[in-house]
Amino acid sequence: MFRVEGNRLIREFDFEKLWVEPWGKDSLRIRITKESEMPDKNWALLEQPESRPEIKIEGNKASITNGKLTCHINEFGAIRLENDKGETLLVEKWQTRDDINNRISLMIPGRELKPIIGGKYKATVRFQGNESEKIYGLGQHQEPFLNLKGCSFELAQRNSQVNIPFALSNLGYGFLWNNPAYGRVSLSRNCTEWIAEVTDVIDYWITAGDNPAEIIEKYTAVTGRPPMIADFALGFWQSKLRYITQEELLGVAREYKRRGLPLSVIVADFFHWTMQGEWQFDPKYWPDPEGMVKELKDMGVELMVSIWPTVDTRSRYYKEMRTKGYLLNTERGVRVHMIFRGNETFVDFTNPNAQKYVWEKVKENYYKYGIRVFWLDEAEPEFRPYDFDNIRGYLGPWLEIGNIYPFMYAKAFYDGMTSEGIKDVVNLARCAWAGSQRFGVIIWSGDIHSNFETLRKQVPAGLNMGLSGIPWWTTDIGGFFGGDPNDPKFRELIVRWFQFGVFCPIFRLHGYRLPEGKKDEDAGIWDLETCGPNEVWSYGEEAYEIIKELLFMRERLRPYIKEQMRLAHEKGYPVMRPLFFDFPHDKECWNVEDEYMFGSDILVAPVLYEGMTKRTVYLPEGTEWKDVNSGNVYRGGQWVEVSAPLNVIPVFLKTGADLPIKG
């Protein structure tokens, strides 16, 4: 029943094969299949040096220990995972036997690979619930919760929803569901349940650690860490939907410089191209890309261009790409995945040859002009509708592999750019999966609404993304949908959002502002909507004066932020993280969901409600805290109330920190 093969413990019983092996420090990878051979895909995981675990086989029971983590397997094959203190971290919830009388009861197993008739399996793993547990991570969900215990989530990629199936527990473990299949996770009081709808294997990774920082360091060691970020990415990014012409975009950049305002990146958003799937500037509106890029670089500004993975059926490369199998397929019906100014099919980035093909077009039409930062939009991708059961790619049906798409999309550009000698790759993407961070992607929170309710949701969204291994994260400052620059209510919102944005890893403005506009009448099918002004001087003088100071605040903080980015590169630490990351022994820190640490020295308490001019702030114990705005010093371990008029965001410095937050 049990045997040892190299450093791996194997149990074989009936059709089931169970493998447990060390995978990184204090960590184990567990795989179960009913196939004739164990599937060999590593998915999010990087290969690890072989280590020597302690393996014990005692009759019909066995255990394997790798540092602080031990997996016990009993005579029925049930799994229990414990740390080096003997504390149970996870135990499968088997409801098939009465432990006292050994009688059949509910017939609900702790794990199962349920056959799909004529196909593969539906995989389910069930662990005993723990009411005292708090769970974080799981990517990005537009929910108001930081602690996700009690929640249930779809394991699927959608616009503004980023599925990264990694959970960090206050019990001292991190857990990765290493499976890109469509599914679900439920974190209920009585049971934690992971489901993959179509797969051939149960595959998960678990680590034990004494604090969140240790857990994140081990998790990112096996899934990858970002490159050291390029200096330009730390400054201010200007964007809107959309600059229609080359001259309009250059005019905005010139105005920033005329006003003496910092600007690092400006964006040419979608439909600057001739047609979807041709990945080139429309020469009618963008006649001199090389000259444009040169002028921007002379101003110290990088140009980012939007890339869509959509290919119009009328476009130049559609026939060739379809012939070569470089486009996603449909299982039934017409091969159209989106209708947006045409009939479009998505590039199949799960195909390595399609990855190379698209990069070569981008290299010829953008990169050669000096453009070195790309906006990988539609990265989920955004099927219309999201009929995941109707899509098939190079790696298989979407229900089985679809969540890996943004990972492969980012990999295509990372591989292409590094092959050209760029080491500090930076690209913006709307979606990610476990391990995406190693390809140098910034994730933003998608097409969200312009209101305070949505702003409040961005705080837990950013914090949980950091705890999912993605340290580079941002939002559309002001929200994407709506917002009238002449509306006093929106002006208040955008000031508060800018204050939050200064203390996000990436400081970026974007949005679809009112009033909607139209392109030239002679544009034909490219007569596409644009929007009202969305530059920092667009919201009235009061807002402008506040925002202007925030731009310079960010500039003063760039050396500090760069050091935090270095820790993200070297250890995987999120730049923006919950209080408990730095103060795990302060129990109150695990309950605070609307403030956070920005690096190890700055505590940020953003104003998240309309009309609010005061707020309460919890200051972690073990140090003193200086209110940057008032100069007052407070002992840690208490709640304080501070003033927060429109021009103030409550910010505190830890004892010993001396940072130029105020000018």
What is the spatial distance between Cα 539 and Cα 591, in angstroms, rounded to a whole number? 36
C-alpha 217: how far from chain center: 17
pLDDT digits (tens, 9 = 90+) for 382-429: 999 999 999 999 999 999 999 999 999 999 999 999 999 999 999 999
CA distance 78 to 551: 56
- Domains, the chain, in order of start with CATH, read 2-223 (2.60.40.1760), 231-571 (3.20.20.80), 578-654 (2.60.40.1180)
User: What is the arithmetic mean of pLDDT over 364-380?
Assistant: 98
- Residue 255 is classified by DSSP as H
In this prediction, residues 316-339 reach a mean pLDDT of 97
| DSSP sequence for 508-546 | EB--BPSSPB---GGGGGG---B-S--STTTT-HHHHHH
pLDDT tens for each residue of 556-606: 999 999 999 999 999 999 999 999 999 999 999 999 999 999 999 999 999
12-47 confidence digits (pLDDT tens): 999 999 999 999 999 999 999 999 999 999 999 999
Q: With cut-offs at 50, 70 and 90, classify the pLDDT of residue 520.
A: low
pLDDT tens across 523-548, in order? 444 457 789 999 999 999 999 999 99
For residue 517, is pLDDT > 90? no
Q: Give me the catalytic one of 82, 203, 377, 601.
A: 377
Give residue 303's pLDDT.
98
Pair 640, 617: CB distance under 8 Å = yes
Phi/psi for 192 (5° steps) reads: -105, 125
Which helix (H) or strand (E) is 248 found in, with range? helix 246-258
* Catalytic residue (one of 380, 400, 476, 601): 380
Structure tokens that stand for 10 in this block: 């194997």
pLDDT digits (tens, 9 = 90+) for 125-159: 999 999 999 999 999 999 999 999 999 999 999 99
pLDDT for residue 663: 81
pLDDT at 637 over 90: yes
Q: Which two tokens stand for residue 467?
A: 């705890």
On the question of a cis peptide bond just before residue 385, with omega within 30 degrees of 0, the verdict is yes
Distance CA 456, CA 319 (A): 46
Task: Give me the chain's average pLDDT, please.
Answer: 96
Q: What percent of the chain has pLDDT over 70?
A: 97
Q: Sorting pLDDT into bands at 50, 70 and 90, what band is 519?
A: low
Taking residues 188-203, what's their average pLDDT? 98
Active site residue 380: yes
C-beta of residue 345 within 8 angstroms of C-beta of residue 336:
yes
- Of 519, 526, 597, 600, the closest CA to residue 566 belongs to 600
Q: State the pLDDT at residue 105.
A: 74
**Among 348, 447, 535, 582, which one carries the catalytic annotation?**
447
Give the list of residues 6+ apart from residue 229 with CB closer than 8 angstroms, or none: 424, 426, 472, 562, 565, 568, 569
Average pLDDT over residues 265-270: 97
Active site residue 447: yes
Q: What is the pLDDT of residue 525?
A: 41
For residue 234, what is the DSSP state? G
CB 392 within 8 A of CB 309: no
Q: Please say if 582 is a catalytic residue.
A: no
State the SS3 of 424-491.
Answer: CCCEEECCCCCCHHHHCEEEECCCCECCHHHHHHHHHHHHHHHCCCCCCEECCECCCECCCCCCHHHH
pLDDT of residue 530: 81
pTM (2 d.p.): 0.97
| Strands of the sheet with 338-339, listed across from one edge | 310-312, 343-346, 338-339
H-helix segments, 289-385: 289-298, 318-323, 352-365
596, two tokens = 């956070």
| Dihedral class, residue 154 (left if φ above 0, else alpha if ψ from -120 to 50, else beta) | beta
Q: Using the 8-state DSSP alphabet, how is residue 231 labeled?
A: G
What residues form DSSP beta bridges with 111? 125
